[in-house]
A and B are shown apart, each in its own frame.
Chain A
Amino acid sequence: MIAPFKTGYAQDLTLAKGPGSRIAYAVLLAVMAAIPLVLGEFYVGELGGLFIFAIAGVGLMLLTGYTGLVSLGNAAFLGIGAYTNAILLARGVPFLISLPAAGLLTAFFGVLIGVPTLRMSGLYLAIATLAFGSIIGTVLQKWDGLTGGFDGFAVQTPSILGFKIEGAWGVYYAALIVLVLVVWVSLNILRSPLGRAMVAIRDSEISAQSMGINLAVTKSIAFGISAGITGLAGGLYAHYVRHLAPDSFDILLSIQLVTIVFIGGLGSLHGAIFGAAFMRLLPQAIAMVRDDLPFGLGQLPGLEPSLFGLILVLVIMFEPGGINGRWVKLKAYFAAFPLHRKPAARRQKSYAKSERLR
């Protein structure tokens, strides 16, 4: 195990935890940038989709994993972002403006839903956001003049300064750039007073308030940021699917996003990306082995959703830290090899908390 030698407080504010991790992330970025040169179009397209879901996962992670607010309406934010971007493009607005505009408008909607739901938490908040999702779904269906109704419409190919962002590669690079930006901004938020206020609200609203944190404002901001990031993902999603229709932004998509943050591991940005990777790769893995499964298991309808459900339950039961939790333990194991002790990663029993002020 390597403990960095610290000589100043500024050192604790840097994002990289040491020279090793700086190199590791630089290499990862370089590999990601080079992948389209090596892999075929199908894989590049799938990875682009993975990045888009990772962006949406980071958005929901800030809300659910860090602020402790569950949202079952994030598919609606994805939809608002996708439609805004596509509609603006169709009206001749350049991509470099339409995508941020999609993010901003979605953030505005996020604050809007955040305000009336401030007094709710847990299940009630989940139901309120679910209702919001279905309202937006209906609006997308019924507002024929703007959204093309049930049939939807084809999304235009965007271009930046004359270069067309075409096909799998275009989406891949656009999503990669947005993902890196979003993760950077999220990391900045998390090391700033706002990020700490979010964590404080998650862990104890009552004492957060006594520390001078304005619950209403902070929760609305958290909703706005989460929605804005999800809206950016939505804008890119429009180019990934190329044809927008309201039924792609239903409750199932919201549940997929929630599954991403739970399986990935609540309270970690790594987790959001791990979760997105898992969510996008499992269907591919199932498709690969489908024909070789015994007893005709592969032909069963609903194999995919039930596997997701099963895995979600298993993760919640046996590894509440999600994939990221497992990853952290694995790293600790190899860092201390061969001196690793099992209890080092055991969950601690926590003391009962006061319920009298709730």
Chain B
Amino acid sequence: MSIFAAQDIAMNFGGIRAVEGVSFTVEPGEVFSIIGPNGAGKTTIFNMISRIYTPSAGKLIFAGEDITSIPPHQIANRGIARTFQNIELFANATLLQNLLIGRHCHSQVGLLAQFGFLPSVRRAEIAHREKAEEVIEFLGLQRYRDQLIANLPYGVRKVVELGRALCIEPKLLLLDEPSSGLNVEETEEMGYWIEDIKQDLGVTIIMVEHDMKLVHAVSDRVMALASGRILALGTSAEVQNDPEVIRAYIGGAPV
């Protein structure tokens, strides 16, 4: 059974149809990449899945549940985590604090208990810290642990954002251009993290990406979009050789 399904989703901004009639399913444990030229609607699909936008039409099904109309802050509880194209970290907090905010959806301590920092809060905090430390170890971020995000280099911030998403302990991870702004080496490293997340943690990944080398290296299936519609869906090699996709990317005479 598929873990995630988009059924005929559409998104209109006024008269502009950013996404139209897009349907796809994602199988558990796979890396599903979405590619397409600028303005194809990739990030719009992400924002619909994480409920920042409400689809104009269609349904989103996650783990058998219709999530089309649940509020955006409950997406994390369901087990969907995401990263952002241009990094949306909490810049004036330390790396550790950022990861702990990723644990927020798992915290259930009462308000008054927090005022007094009762033993129950202390125990919960230590448990969250242990989880955060696991992620720090997984991604090798030990030496940046207590640094402010604002003082970290861009490449490290990308990894921190990945770590913050992992702290949610997601079943489904949405990566919005994980390689944007990274150099060749860092992109290669990002590819390894993605494979590790898939294999060691068993997390299903949906990824928007422009770097075709990275897409080719990690994806099980690729979906190509243009102008809000699906052009092709299949393995990376199939999609890259699809005449429609080639035309959308590099133009040329109609076939």
Contact of B89 among A196, A197, A204 (CB under 8 A): A204
Can you list 23 contacts pairing A with B, beta carbon distance less than 8 Å? A10-B126, A185-B115, A188-B115, A191-B125, A192-B125, A193-B107, A193-B109, A194-B114, A196-B101, A197-B101, A202-B92, A204-B89, A207-B84, A210-B52, A210-B75, A210-B76, A211-B102, A211-B164, A212-B75, A351-B154, A353-B86, A354-B85, A354-B86
Q: Give which listed residue, A192, A350, A354, contacts B91 with CB less than 8 A.
A: A350
Report B29 CB to chain A, min CB distance, Å: 23
Q: Is B130 an interface residue (CB 8 A)?
A: yes
A107 to B76, CA, bound (A): 30
Contact in complex: B73, A352 (CB < 8 Å): no
Chain A residues, Cβ within 8 Å of B91: 203-204, 350
Task: Tell me which residues across on chain B come within 8 A of A204, comparing CB atoms.
Answer: 88-91
Chain A binding surface, main DSSP class: helix
Interface segment among A28-36, A124-132, A213-221, A270-278: the answer is: A213-221
Q: Is the CB of B104 within 8 A of A203?
A: no
Tell whether, in the assembled complex, residue A348 and residue B151 are in contact, meaning their CB atoms are under 8 Å apart. yes
**Is A315 interfacial (CB 8 A cutoff)?**
no
How distant is the Cα of A196 from the Cα of B109 in the complex, in angstroms? 13
B82 contacts the other chain (CB 8 A): yes
The prevalent SS among residues of B at the interface is helix
Contact segment of B1-9, B116-124, B230-238, B245-253: B116-124
- With an 8 A cutoff between CB atoms, is A330 at the interface? no
Q: Is B105 within 8 A of A212, CB to CB?
A: yes
Check if B101 sits within 8 Å of A9, measured CB to CB: no
With an 8 Å Cβ cutoff, the count of chain B residues facing the other chain is 49
B87 within 8 A of A: yes
Residues in A lying within 8 Å of B, measured CB to CB: 9-10, 12-13, 185, 188-189, 191-197, 199-200, 202-204, 206-215, 221, 267, 348, 350-354, 356-357
The interface residues of chain A lying within 8 Å CB-to-CB of B151 are 348
Cβ-closest chain A residue relative to B121:
A192
Residues on A with C-beta less than 8 A from B74 are 212
Assembled-state Cα–Cα distance A206/B88 (Å): 8
14 new A-B contacts, CB < 8 A, other than A9-B130, A192-B109, A206-B84, are: A13-B117, A188-B116, A191-B125, A192-B121, A193-B103, A194-B111, A199-B92, A202-B90, A203-B89, A204-B88, A209-B72, A214-B73, A352-B86, A356-B43
B97 A196 Cβ-Cβ under 8 A: yes
Q: Tell me if A12 and B129 are in contact (CB < 8 A).
A: yes
> What are the residues of chain B within 8 A of A210 when measuring CB–CB?
50, 52, 72, 75-76, 81-82
Which single residue of chain B is at the shortest CB-CB distance from A353? B86
Q: Does B150 contact A (CB under 8 A)?
A: yes
Check if B89 sits within 8 Å of A199, measured CB to CB.
Answer: no
Within 8 Å CB of B75, what residues of A?
210, 212
Question: B88 near A207 (CB under 8 angstroms)?
Answer: yes
- A13 B88 Cβ-Cβ under 8 A: no
Closest residue of A by beta carbon distance from B97 = A196
Take A189-B114, A197-B101 as given contacts and tell me if A213 and B73 are in contact as well, using a CB distance cutoff of 8 Å.
yes
Assess the A200–B50 pair: CB atoms within 8 A: no
**A95, chain B: closest CB distance, angstroms:** 22
Rounded to whole angstroms, the CA-CA distance of A2 and B115 in the bound complex is 30
The answer to whether B168 has its CB under 8 Å from any CB of chain A is: yes
Q: Is residue B100 within 8 Å, beta carbon to beta carbon, of the partner chain?
A: yes
A-contacting residues of B (Cβ < 8 Å)? 43, 47, 50, 52, 71-77, 81-82, 84-93, 97, 100-105, 107, 109, 111, 114-117, 121-122, 125-126, 129-130, 133, 150-151, 154, 164, 168
Distance A202 CA – B77 CA, assembled complex (angstroms) = 22
**Which residue on chain B has the smallest CB distance to residue A195?**
B114
B118–chain A nearest beta-carbon distance, Å:
9
CB distance from B186 to the nearest CB of A (A): 15
Report the minimal beta-carbon distance from A261 to chain B, rounded to whole angstroms: 15
A209 to chain B, nearest CB (A): 5
Task: Report which residue of A211, A213, A352 has the largest number of chain B beta carbons within 10 angstroms of its beta carbon.
Answer: A211
**Bound complex: CA of A189 vs CA of B70, how far in Å?**
28
CB pair B86 A199 closer than 8 Å: no
- CB of B11, distance to nearest CB on chain A (Å): 14
Residues on the B chain within 8 Å of A209, using CB: 52, 72-73
* Residue numbers in B under 8 Å from A10 (CB-CB): 122, 126
| Distance in angstroms between the alpha carbons of A350 and B87 in the assembled complex | 12
Q: Are B150 and A357 in contact (CB under 8 A)?
A: no
**Cα distance A207–B82 in the bound complex, in angstroms:** 9
Query: What's the minimum C-beta distance from B102 to chain A, rounded to whole angstroms?
Result: 6
Nearest chain A CB to B131's CB is how many angstroms away? 11
Indicate if the CB atoms of B87 and A212 lie closer than 8 Å.
no
Q: Which of A9, A195, A210, A351 has the most CB of B within 10 A?
A: A210
Chain B positions within 8 Å of A267 at CB level: 92
Q: Give the complex CA separation of A56 and B76 in angstroms.
A: 35
Known contacts A193-B107, A196-B104; is-contact A13 B114 (Cβ 8 Å): no
Smallest beta-carbon distance A87→chain B, Å: 26
- Measured between C-beta atoms, what is the minimum distance from B49 to chain A in Å? 11
Known contacts: A211-B104, A348-B151. The answer to whether A221 contacts B90 by CB under 8 A is no
Give every chain B residue within 8 A of A12 (Cβ-Cβ). 129
How far is B90's CA from A204's CA once the two chains are assembled, in angstroms? 6
Q: How far is B173's CA from A210's CA once the two chains are assembled, in angstroms?
A: 12
A210 to B75, CA, bound (A): 7
Supposing A9-B129, A193-B104, A210-B72 touch, asked if A188 and B117 sit within 8 A by C-beta, the answer is yes
Instruction: With A10-B126, A192-B121, A213-B73 as known contacts, state yes or no: A350 contacts B150, CB within 8 Å.
Output: yes
Query: What chain B residues lie within 8 Å of A188 (beta carbons)?
Result: 114-117
